[in-house]
Amino acid sequence: MFLLKQIIVVLLGSSMLVACNTPPKRKKPPISAQQLAKRELQKLRPTVKQAPVEPAIAAPPPPAQVNPLKKVNKTGRLPTVTTVTDRALDMGHLSNNDPIELDFEQVPLRQIIDIIADALNLSVVIDPTINSKVTIRTASDKPLTKKDLWPLLQMLLNDAGVSMEKRRGVYYLKKVDRKLPGTIGITPQTLTSSTSPEVLQITPLRYITAQAAQTVINPLIQPKGRIITLPTLNIIGIITTPQYLKRVNKLLHIIDADPFLHRGMRLFRLINSKATEVQAELDKILKAIYNKTPPTYQVIALERINAILVVTPPNSGFNEVATWVEILDERSDESGEQVFIYKVKNLEASKLASTLSSVFKLDKAAEEKQKRQKTQQKAFPTAKNKKDKKPPSSPTPNGSKTVSADLKVTIVADESTNSLLVRASARDYRQLLETIYTLDQVPKEVMINVVLAEVKLTEASQFGIDWQALLRGTHGSIGSNFSVPDANFAASSTSSSDTNNNTASLAGFTGLTLNYLSGGLNAVLNMVASNNEVSILSRPSLLVRNNEEASINIGSSEPFLSGVNTSSTNNQILSNDVQYKDTGITVKVTPRINDDGIINLKIFQELSQLGEPKTTQQLQSFITRKIETSVVVRDGSTIIIGGLIETIERDDQQGIPLLKDIPFIGRMLFSSTDKKRDRTELALIIVPQIVNPEADNRPLVIQFKKRLKLVTQLLNEQQVLVGEWGELPSH
């Protein structure tokens, strides 16, 4: 037992010693945010499912073959030019060893021509106009031979402007302004070795224009030489001596060089910026650095591929230009243009786009001028600019934010989705949204309740309803105008003692307009109906949007004879022209609501009917009564437009029944006819009510249902429904 205890103690001690010798485990370093994000993204990455294999679709039939256009591919070729040289003089009979020395001082050219012609055995005819003088001396140690005389004669004649033409063995010499050179060709080797004093080289150009080559070469060969051009074939003709021609050809080799081979070109493709904008900014940078006009570097914007092409002189390099292009093409979410889509909620996208485009359209010239002014103010600040600070802008009404008018935006309306496509930078789009939110609000609506009544006037009211007498003492206002009709139906406005009442009346039209705001209108029309017969012609109610027109038309389209086509010989009627015209009652109302709940109404009323034929051709006439005015009322106020009086004359026949219908004697003995006149006054009653689509409109719906229940009773009893819409006046 004691031994067992010792063994247990030894084992425990050894285990403790082993634990002390074992180094502690190191903790793992914390996971970085980047590693944690990668781990989470791998967890969230969806598994890719293999798409089901769709059955093969039969290939569509090949399209019908269309006759292809004939290919036009011609490189073009120069016309054939052969070398032409004046025929040299046959000198076979002359001895080459006979020396000839010449020593003349200001001797007439005619005399030298005679001497050389005698030596060469030539027959010449010299024009009298050849009178110039020349000086010739040959070296004694290098005398000329007879074979050298012919080139010498050609050179003298060429310098003196004398042409030589051979006719039947005789040489005719005369003075000319211009003449063809002795040798004409296209091969430089042949022309430069020619013995002619003057040659014409036909030179086709490959890379530069004929005008450009003429500008460079012409000053070098004047006054004796000259250049002729053929721009259509891009060819120049060089007229000069063979010695000068060698130098000109060396110069042409440099001028007419391949620009694609010698000039530097590099295409920079842009990712974030527009090619035109980078071109304009890079041109300014290069002009400021090199200070040359035109600049050494040429920058061309390629808008279709959104790239710029930089062209440089030979061995100029692109390292610095590439650095600036990289700087200008940096990505900027604020300045870079993007395409945004705004879903229009309450307005028409086309109208909203037209309004915004008109406001934010900035003239390019004004934009450049504004940029220059800003640049000058930044580069050259003055004390005056520091002092003259703009005052703080006053707060706008309704708490709306001000928006800069210098926005660069392109707005297009998509009518199918009623959306706006806006191309602008993110900064400009955020400012544009402030204006869009202000305009794209839920519009208010107006319920236009209209009563069109016809009052049959009695003897007491034969001159019309005396609205002022009826309403005397009531809480309302009346305006009337009985002046001579005028062409412009301008509405005048008068105010009553009640500050809440405004009366609009027609200037220049016989009529009466009433704006009645109290609740006694029902009693007023009851008083009218007590002494007069009142009939309702129409009683519509229309819900119209703010600033939109509501139209009511009651009547028919009547045919009428508008013209008669007759023969020019016997005045026989060939054909009649028949047209249709709308007759009846037309009422148009356009409401405009302001923020104070005031309604501005434009009211148009027209009553038209057929009249009697007036012309000899019995063409139809029409009787029209029209009123047009503008009024300002509050919500729920009643407007009455009256005073349109019509007189109708009719024959009233009375007699004994049956006997008055006897032919011939019945009308004379048993009946009588009296002419009567009926006078009626047309009254238009309008009650506008503002309807807010976002508010609770259940009372309005209940009121409208109540009205529908009383329509039948209203039409049957021929009574007027006014005041609180839905109440019937009592007789």
Residue 624 pLDDT: 83
User: HSE of 636 in the Cβ direction (CA atoms, 13 Å)?
Assistant: 7
Residues 197, 195: Cα–Cα separation, whole Å = 6
Q: Give 506 or 139, the one with higher predicted confidence.
A: 139
Residues 513, 489: Cα–Cα separation, whole Å = 13
For the stretch 102-155, pLDDT in tens is 777 777 878 878 877 877 778 888 878 777 777 777 776 777 777 777 777 777
Q: Tokens 């037309």 map to which residue?
A: 586
pLDDT at 706 over 60: yes
Residue 430 pLDDT: 83
Task: For strands 103-108 and 199-204, give the pairing.
Answer: unpaired
**Of the given ranges (191-200, 394-403, 495-504, 603-612), which has the lowest mean pLDDT?**
495-504
* Range 631-648 average pLDDT: 79
Residue 413's pLDDT band (boundaries 50, 70, 90)?
very high
pLDDT at 352 over 80: yes
Structural domains of the chain ordered from first start: 103-175 (3.55.50.30), 183-257 (3.30.1370.120), 261-329 (3.30.1370.120), 533-718 (no CATH)
Residues 688, 374: Cα–Cα separation, whole Å = 53
First vs last C-alpha separation in the chain: 132
Residues 105, 102: Cα–Cα separation, whole Å = 10
pLDDT at 512 over 50: no
Residues 263, 376: Cα–Cα separation, whole Å = 37
pLDDT at 212 over 80: yes
Residue 565 to residues 278, 561, 570, Cα–Cα distance (Å): 71, 11, 12
Residues 660, 658: Cα–Cα separation, whole Å = 6
Give percent of the chain above pLDDT 70: 57
Q: Give 62 or 204, the one with higher predicted confidence.
A: 204
Closest-CA residue to 341 (of 353, 327, 324): 353
H and E: helices and strands count for the chain: 19, 29
The one-letter amino acid code at 455 reads: V
Where does residue 304 fall: left (phi above 0), alpha (psi -120 to 50 degrees), or beta otherwise? alpha
* Range 42-49 average pLDDT: 48
User: HSE of 151 in the Cβ direction (CA atoms, 13 Å)?
Assistant: 11
For residue 223, whether the previous peptide bond is cis, meaning omega lies within 30 degrees of 0, is yes
Residue 489 pLDDT: 33
Q: Give 575 or 544, the one with higher predicted confidence.
A: 544
Residue 582 pLDDT: 83
Residue 205 pLDDT: 84
In 93-241, alpha helices (H) = 109-120, 149-160, 188-192, 210-221
pLDDT at 572 over 60: yes
pLDDT at 629 over 70: yes
In the 3-class helix/strand/coil scheme, how is 554-619 assigned residue by residue?
EEEEEEEEEEEEECCCCCCEEEEEEEEEEEEEEEEEEEEECCCCEEEEEEEEEEEEECCCCCCCCC
CB 244 within 8 A of CB 252: no
Residue 487 pLDDT: 34
For the stretch 650-672, pLDDT in tens is 666 777 777 677 777 767 666 66
Residue 480 pLDDT: 40
Q: Give 109 or 437, the one with higher predicted confidence.
A: 437
Residue 516 to residues 474, 502, 632, 633, 641, Cα–Cα distance (Å): 9, 9, 12, 9, 11
Average pLDDT, the chain: 69
CB 516 within 8 A of CB 502: no
Residue 566 pLDDT: 74
Residue 66 pLDDT: 54
What is the crossing angle of helices 109-120 and 149-160, to 10°?
A: 150
Residues 3, 1: Cα–Cα separation, whole Å = 5
Break the chain down into helix, strand, coil percent, rounded to 5.
30, 30, 40
Q: What are phi and psi of 356, to 5 degrees?
A: -65, -40
pLDDT at 727 over 50: no
* Range 262-287 average pLDDT: 86
H-helix or E-strand containing 208?
none
Closest-CA residue to 252 (of 213, 289, 301, 196): 213
pLDDT at 70 over 70: no
pLDDT at 484 over 90: no
* Range 326-355 average pLDDT: 83
Residue 723's pLDDT band (boundaries 50, 70, 90)?
very low
Task: For strands 123-126 and 170-175, give the pairing.
Answer: parallel
pLDDT at 465 over 60: no
For the stretch 223-247, pLDDT in tens is 777 777 877 778 888 877 777 778 7
Residues 620, 560: Cα–Cα separation, whole Å = 6
CB 227 within 8 A of CB 237: yes
Closest-CA residue to 411 (of 428, 427, 424, 430): 424
Query: Which of helix, strand or coil describes residue 277?
Result: helix
Residue 344 pLDDT: 92
Q: Give 264 or 334, the one with higher predicted confidence.
A: 264
Q: Give 421 or 615, the one with higher predicted confidence.
A: 421
Residue 375's pLDDT band (boundaries 50, 70, 90)?
low
Residue 189 pLDDT: 65
Give percent of the chain above pLDDT 90: 4
